[in-house]
Homo-oligomer: A and B are copies of this chain.
Amino acid sequence: MSTKHVGKQSVSLPNPPSIAAGACIVGKKEGEGPLRDSFDYISEDSYFGEKTWEKAESTMQKMAFQKALEKANLPQTVVEFIFAGDLLNQCIGSAFGMRDMGIPFFGLYGACSTMAESLALAALMIDGGFADCTAAVTSSHYCTAERQFRTPLEYGGQRTPTAQWTATAAGALILTSDGPGPYVKHITCGQIVDQGIKDANNMGAAMAPAAYSTLSAHFNDLALKPSDYDLIVTGDLGAVGSSILLDFFKNDGIDLAPYYNDCGLMIYAREEQDVHAGASGCGCSASVLAGHLLNGMRAGRWKKLLFAATGALLSTVSTQQGESIPCICCAVSLSTTK
């Protein structure tokens, strides 16, 4: 009988894995933002020395993984499983990025929720006794995402006020069965939520109901309340989605605001950097978690943190066929103590 399943959507990890290290590699624009000091490497070149942006994204993901290993002071050979994903068609950012690693690989697609999904599964592999060391790796690239999901960059399409800017960023986490933490304590896996939003330029509004669904399930399943956390951070709801999420909780009589932030609002100086509603892309929450948030936990700034990354599971084809946007949110709770 399953003893670790709690409530409808959550699991608790009795042997919580430790995050041995995280690393984040970003582009120039991200390096000009308020979190610049938390990144391990800022590339002035959007091609990262490669011939195409897709190859650049793979290179960025590989750099993040190798930097995380270096910071964990672990050789590549100890990593038993990699969980990785990205936004590109057929997830080629991950497949080509991790191609030469020689490490058992699980490919994921969770759109912008991928860092939470990969972290969740990487942690469960350790808590389940299947591994002692795993990795979670995720990336996005502004230039690959724009031309794949929207228009060629050369087209210079105008962006709507609700649009978010896909971060050029990769994050990698190395998890180990033993270590000083922070520890992965609980996971709440999201259901797909689709409230009928069809505007592909308003991902925040589409994803907010998924974030609300998963966070509510997390609090209910584990009998917790927002104040049990020092920080609750969503992936990339941006200004529009974050405000909707706060409204949803307000309707339930819960004031989430004092404990809440969103990676999509943290990585850029929104006004000065002209990113409209904020950042998006699975590299956004991945790099903010692997850098700023992990550093803050190690420094004692936050002891308990809930990381809830959100993803919009649409494609250009589903949008062209008139479909609304199914969304998902996966939440992982981290603590500096076991």
Those of A268-316 within 8 Å (CB) of chain B: 313-316
28 A-B residue pairs with CB within 8 Å: A2-B126, A2-B130, A2-B132, A4-B128, A4-B129, A5-B80, A9-B104, A55-B321, A89-B315, A89-B317, A90-B109, A90-B313, A90-B315, A92-B313, A92-B315, A95-B192, A95-B314, A96-B318, A96-B323, A102-B191, A103-B191, A105-B189, A106-B121, A121-B121, A124-B125, A124-B128, A128-B129, A128-B130
CA–CA, A55 and B8, complex, Å:
29
Q: Is there an interface contact between B101 and A191, defined as CB atoms closer than 8 Å? A: yes
Asked if A31 is an interface residue, CB under 8 A from chain B, the answer is no
Cβ B317 vs Cβ A54 within 8 A? yes
Contact assessment for B99 and A192 in the assembled complex, using a CB-CB cutoff below 8 Å = yes
Categorize the interface residue count of chain A: 35 or more
Q: Which residues of B contact A111 (CB under 8 A)?
A: 90, 107
Alpha-carbon distance A96/B326, docked complex (angstroms)? 7
Contact of A107 among B2, B99, B110, B316 (CB under 8 A): B110
Give the interface of A toward B (CB within 8 A).
Answer: 1-5, 8-9, 11, 51-52, 54-55, 80-81, 85, 87-92, 95-96, 98-111, 117, 121, 124-132, 148, 177, 189-192, 194, 313-318, 321, 323, 326, 328
Query: Are the C-beta atoms of B315 and A88 separated by less than 8 Å?
Result: yes
B132 A5 Cβ-Cβ under 8 A: yes
Asked whether, in the complex, the Cβ of A105 is within 8 Å of the Cβ of B315, the reply is no
* A-B contact sample (13 more), CB < 8 A, given A90-B314, A127-B128: A5-B132, A11-B130, A54-B317, A81-B189, A88-B315, A89-B90, A91-B313, A95-B313, A96-B318, A99-B192, A105-B191, A107-B110, A128-B130
Contact of A2 among B109, B129, B191, B314 (CB under 8 A): B129
Q: Which residues of the partner chain B approach A54 to less than 8 Å between Cβ atoms? A: 317-318, 321
Alpha-carbon distance between A108 and B129 when the two chains are bound, in angstroms: 22
Contact status A130-B5, CB under 8 Å: yes
Docked complex Cα distance between A9 and B326 (Å)? 34
Minimal beta-carbon separation of A247 from chain B (angstroms): 23
- A108 touching B106, Cβ below 8 Å: yes
When the two chains form their complex, are residues B121 and A130 in contact, meaning their CB atoms are under 8 A apart? no
Q: List, in ascending order, chain B residues with CB within 8 A of A177's CB.
A: 1-2
